Structure 1
Amino acid sequence: MTANALTSSVAPLDPARFERELDGKPVRLFTLRNASGMVVAITNYGAKIEQILVPDRAGRLDDVVLGYDNLEGAIGGSPSMGAFIGRYAGRLGHARFTLGDSEYLLGANNGQHCLHGGFRGSRMRVFDAVQRDESSVEMRYVFADGEEGFPGTLALSLVYRVLDSNELVLDYEATAQDKPGVASFTSHAFFNLNGESSGSALDHELMIAADHYLAMDAELVASGELLPVEKTLFDFRQPTVLKTRVGEAAAGAGAQTLDGYDSAYLIRRESPAGLALCAHVSAPQSGRVMEVWSTEPVMQFYTGLQPQMSLPGGPGKSGQVYFQQQGLCFEPQGYPNAPNCPAFPTALIQPGHSRAGSTVYRFSVLPG
């Protein structure tokens, strides 16, 4: 379907509503477009994805990510929404880890743990940004030695690209400058394939390409153990409608249920390198489909665990206050809490070496 054949009741976000100087740096909104009519808007505050317009089965464009239509909303709203997460994605237990003979104490911003890089990880930082062409933008941020307690200067380069095949590609590379350090990154967009104002996303059908999930303690900190998904509520190897597993509707049917998901999966791979399919999610109402592909070994799947709890901040782009379980997060990343789990592959980066990765969100529609 060509861009000219598409219709939309949703306008692209106004870049002027994101223009401001913050922390001595200019903040902007960068709008990416492809030849197929897809539109993606990203601000360099937290490298946050604020809008993704893609067609449904009838060729109607709608916005499929939760977010804000101005910088004040992005700053005051849900801190991870749409953000590129670093220096370390997920929870680092007790906000500390040891390298060699040195113990490093981190920002404990999630109870006694460090979540998503601490109080001011990359999700609260202004990236240097340059739009390279109509379909791509490059963003850079340098983590200072000691920032949020992490050792070493770490230079991060991040490129967002929109392909004509309706794919949003994230390519990133972080290079240690002066000291050994640790790093793990992810993208934290909240997706609703029926549109960001459509309410609960639990009617979506989900497949996760994983035979094992990561054991976590009561405070959702990874322990270093892998558990089989077979015969558990964490098994999404076959497409499953989320509302059959989550909440009161499922409980009314007499099934075992969860309050929601905040779970990490070890992605099944045919080869150790390159992109692997992490998840396939579809919304029968709109007909939209999204596949998540990544070079990362683990994917965190998040719905929120308290559907009656509103997300921080004011109204979103539609003027409605967002609630948990109205958006689904698919967060490819390194092993969570790896610096504290000897059984996991190392997250260490030596000076002069880099950690690179790619994640792709691929959009299409159901057949028929």
Structure 2
Amino acid sequence: MMHLLRNARGMRVAIGAHDASVRAWWAPDRYGRLADVLGAAPPAAHAPVDWQCDPPDGGHLLLRLARDGLSVRLAYRLDDDGSLHLDCAAIADGVSRFALAAPLFNLQGRNAAVGDHVLRLAADHYGPWPGGGTGGAPLDVAGSAFDFRQPAPLASRLAWPALAHLPGFRHDFYWAGSGQLREAARVADPASGRVLRFSSTQDGCHLYSDARCFSLLAQDVQLQPGQAMRFTLAYRLGVQDIDAFDISEPISMTPNK
């Protein structure tokens, strides 16, 4: 079952009630043309299912989960400025771990390549590829292909020798500070003019990408007995001229293979 949220700008966001995932998001490009900017999202490793959903109220949707001593309350809100807020509160009776299913974006629309998408990510450390054999300690992004503090296209960074053997990004990124909702990343598509802004109260995120999509995921939640946790994420879709980005590397308009 799907629930549809709408705002005054004509945006529509479809939420899957079974796993609380964002299944579709229709958003305008620079010419006002609507397109679904989400692809099919694989389930997160620890994403729970069988959520209970209250009837949607305009741009609001409330979901609840209770299982194995874990209680989660997840509220979606679609604002008229193009922001989709996710407010999550969880408490556990025992040791628990879960993750939210992350939306996979393609700002140009489904079946296009995302190599020309330009990423700016305010992270000064990153975690190596899982199983990469380099240890688990976060590494400094300075001087590496993982330094997105100045905007750069995804494909240009994946062409660096250190990443040329990888199909995309599967890395954790970290920044200083948490608790306040702050913009951590911005992704722009030069073809459509769409821009995605990602904000979080956490101090890190996971970047996933392949040839056709990308995602910015919340960190997994790990709870000890009696521990409560709250966090907020926001994805904001809008339109911006690509010239407004101070891009550090050239954009190739050749589609990824």
**TM-score interval (norm. to shorter):** 0.7 to 0.9
Partner of 1:295: 201
Query: SS where residue 355 of structure 1 aligns?
Result: strand
Partner of 2:255: none
Query: SS where residue 108 of structure 2 aligns?
Result: coil
Which amino acid is 2:204 matched to? V
**Equivalence map 1:305-320=2 (5 Å):** none
Q: Give the structure with the larger helix fraction.
A: 1
Aligned residues: 240
Off by >4 Å, runs of 4+ in structure 1: none
Normalising to structure 1: TM-score of the pair? 0.61
| CA distance, structure 2, for counterparts of residue 79 and residue 236 of structure 1 | 25
1:209 paired with 2:122, answer yes
2:106 aligned residue (182, 192, 195): 192
1:40 is displaced (CA, Å) by 0.2
Partner of 1:17: none
Question: Which structure is larger by alpha-carbon Rg, 1 or 2?
Answer: 1
Check conservation: 2:125, 2:138, Cα contact below 8 A.
Answer: yes
Partner of 1:156: 72
Partner of 1:46: 19
Check conservation: 2:171, 2:207, Cα contact below 8 A.
Answer: yes
Q: 1:184 to 1:160 in 2, by over 3 A?
A: same
Which amino acid is 2:186 matched to? H
Check conservation: 2:173, 2:205, Cα contact below 8 A.
Answer: yes
| CA distance, structure 1, for counterparts of residue 22 and residue 220 of structure 2 | 21
Q: 1:217 to 1:45 in 2, by over 3 A?
A: closer
1:225 paired with 2:133, answer no
| CA distance, structure 1, for counterparts of residue 130 and residue 39 of structure 2 | 29
Give per-residue Cα distances to partners, 1:241-294, cap 9 Å, x unaligned.
112122xxx47xxx664322100001243xx32112221100000000001000
Partner of 1:175: 91
Give per-residue Cα distances to partners, 1:59-84, cap 9 Å, x unaligned.
111110013xxxxxxxxxx532xxxx
Which amino acid is 2:84 matched to? L
Which stretches in structure 2 are left out of the alignment for 5+ residues? Answer: 244-257
Query: SS where residue 41 of structure 1 aligns?
Result: strand
Partner of 1:35: 8
Q: What is the percentage of aligned positions where both structures have the same residue?
A: 30
Check conservation: 2:25, 2:36, Cα contact below 8 A.
Answer: yes
1:59 paired with 2:32, answer yes
Partner of 2:42: 79
Query: SS where residue 155 of structure 1 aligns?
Result: strand
Partner of 1:279: 185
